Amino acid sequence: LTALIIGLLTRNVELALTLLVIGCPGALVISIPVSIVAGIGRSARDGVLIKGGEYLETAARVSAVVVDKTGTLTNGRPELTDVVALDDAWSEDQVLTLAARAETASEHPLAEAIIRGAEQRKLSVEMVERAEPVTGKGIRAEVDGHTVTVGSAALLDHTPDNERILALNAAGKTAMFVGVDGRAVGIVAVADTIRDDTPAAIQALHARGIKVIMATGDAQRVAENVAAKLGVDEVHAEMMPEDKLALVKELQRQGHTVAMVGDGVNDTPALAQADIGVAMGAAGSPAAIETADIALMADRLPRLPYALGLAKRT
């Protein structure tokens, strides 16, 4: 209308057309994709890969973050701390050798710690003939004609005494039974260390009003030990992949926009279900990085609150 009125009053067609162009919403419309592209580009320069504008916009609304422990809150490079023989017929070195051989078929960070511990003791660690990972429980392998298990008591035929396990867990260590043909013959324990930058990342998320929930397959006491040092809002331990998935769904049902942070194959169902899946880049498994919507390429957790803040500013 302004262009028409000015055109009629001034008889200046160029001026009328100029006002018409200014009045069109094109500049406003084009500013939106330009802003999103700028946000994605800036985050990429700062070590955060966001896979599209949709995820950038959703990240701005995140109100709850579910975080895996091993390799995410912690360094993901645990070290062997304890070897205990529960059967007089087996020495500590024999127990550790069995555990290490079984774990040669596993890709879990705890498996690497056990194998590394055996090699440091100059023990011979040969590949197993056959092995089967048992999701959320451990691993079962064929070693010299015997069925060897490393993991929770659920892999054993006979219920062992849990007191030693509980004592190690209370000290912040992840302890596992070593079983031969269904009977516990020993315990191996490993401990992981909290990343130096994790406390700052948790504080930054809290400062943004975001709820932080730790979800891990580790024992309850181990999880509580780590959670107490970090000040997370909730702790969920001894979780199977489907339990993490159910936790994300429950938070969504409560009205939260959920970001799930993980680095392993076990995290992929929850990563896919979450409104925003976040993979820890360098340490993350290919499956986790493929499933996630955001990848923290520098393997630094403080990049997460940075990414959510950048999304909000964009």
> Which amino acids are annotated catalytic?
68
- Using CA atoms, how far apart are residues 263 and 73, in angstroms rounded to an integer? 10
Instruction: Tokens for 53, please give them.
Output: 């504008």
For residue 11, the Cα-to-chain-centroid distance in whole angstroms is 67
H or E, element range at 163: helix 163-170
For residue 98, the Cα-to-chain-centroid distance in whole angstroms is 29
Q: Kindly provide the b/e burial profile for residues 248-266, where b requires at least 16 CB atoms within 10 angstroms of the residue's own CB.
A: beebeeeebbbbbbbbbbb
Q: Are strands 276-280 and 258-262 parallel, antiparallel or unpaired?
A: parallel
- Using CA atoms, how far apart are residues 175 and 165, in angstroms rounded to an integer? 6
- Using CA atoms, how far apart are residues 210 and 256, in angstroms rounded to an integer? 10
